[in-house]
Amino acid sequence: MPHLTVVSTSPLRAAALAAALLTAGGLALAQHTGHAAPAVTPTAAKLPLTVLSATIVAVPPGITETSAHLTLKNPGSTAVVLTGASSATFGHVMLMKTTRTGAMTGMKTVPTLTVPARGTLTMGPAGDHLMLMGLKRPLKLGEKITLTLKAKDGRTLNVTATVRKP
């Protein structure tokens, strides 16, 4: 690993500069004895999930919200906790859980969805799903849209979802 020395009259300014320089290379900043250095996370690793299916519900022109349905398989021995998602095609993406109280069905935003260890998380029309908000342009049937899933541990996974009729 290359060695980097940053000299400054301010330890905080030196640490910030070193962090900025190292972040560009995806390296971690080691803490020097006697100086507090901010932690710099290495480039995020890919989530160990397999995408079994991924679709986005087609909507008519003028509608700016839709949903994504995914089936994710986790072959690992540790659960994967999803904390968010994003897409360049949408303003923002929310993790949603379907709730049922008696005969009433509703949805609520949740901070996490979990893909169990050696298990599967199915997000579909009648259950958990991704709510895609702020559509930036009309969708085309058959079009492929990239969604980036984010996990609690900082890892990510790019998923290609196909726009389909409901």
Q: What is the pLDDT of residues 84-131, one digit of tens each?
A: 999 999 999 999 998 888 888 889 999 999 999 999 999 998 899 999
Which tens digit of pLDDT belongs to each residue from 6-27?
333 433 333 333 333 333 333 3
Task: Give the count of beta carbons closer than 10 Å to the beta carbon of residue 56.
Answer: 25
Q: Which residue has the tokens 């893909």?
A: 115
DSSP class of residue 77?
A: S
Q: How far is CA 95 from CA 16, 31, 62, 154, in A?
A: 33, 36, 23, 16
**Strand ranges inside 104-143, DSSP E:** 104-109, 113-115, 119-123, 129-135
> Which pLDDT does position 120 carry in this prediction?
97
Place of tokens 């599967």: 120
Q: Which two tokens stand for residue 22?
A: 């190292």
User: At residue 61, does pLDDT exceed 70?
Assistant: yes
Q: pTM score, two decimals?
A: 0.71
Q: Of 51, 28, 39, 73, nearest to 148 (Cα)?
A: 51
Q: How high is the pLDDT of residue 148?
A: 97
pLDDT for res 103: 86
Rounded Cα distance between 154 and 129, Å, is 21
Question: How far is CA 161 from each of CA 24, 55, 66, 147, rounded to the nearest angstrom?
Answer: 30, 5, 13, 7
Q: What's the pLDDT score for residue 44?
A: 55
Mean pLDDT over 150-162 rounds to: 96
Is the Cβ–Cβ distance between 154 and 49 less than 8 Å?
no
Assess whether pLDDT exceeds 50 at residue 47. yes
Q: β-strand 90-101 against 104-109: which pairing, if any?
A: antiparallel
Reported as a pLDDT band with limits 50, 70 and 90, residue 33 is: very low
pLDDT of residue 55: 98
* Mean pLDDT value across the chain: 80
What share of the chain in percent tops pLDDT 90?
63
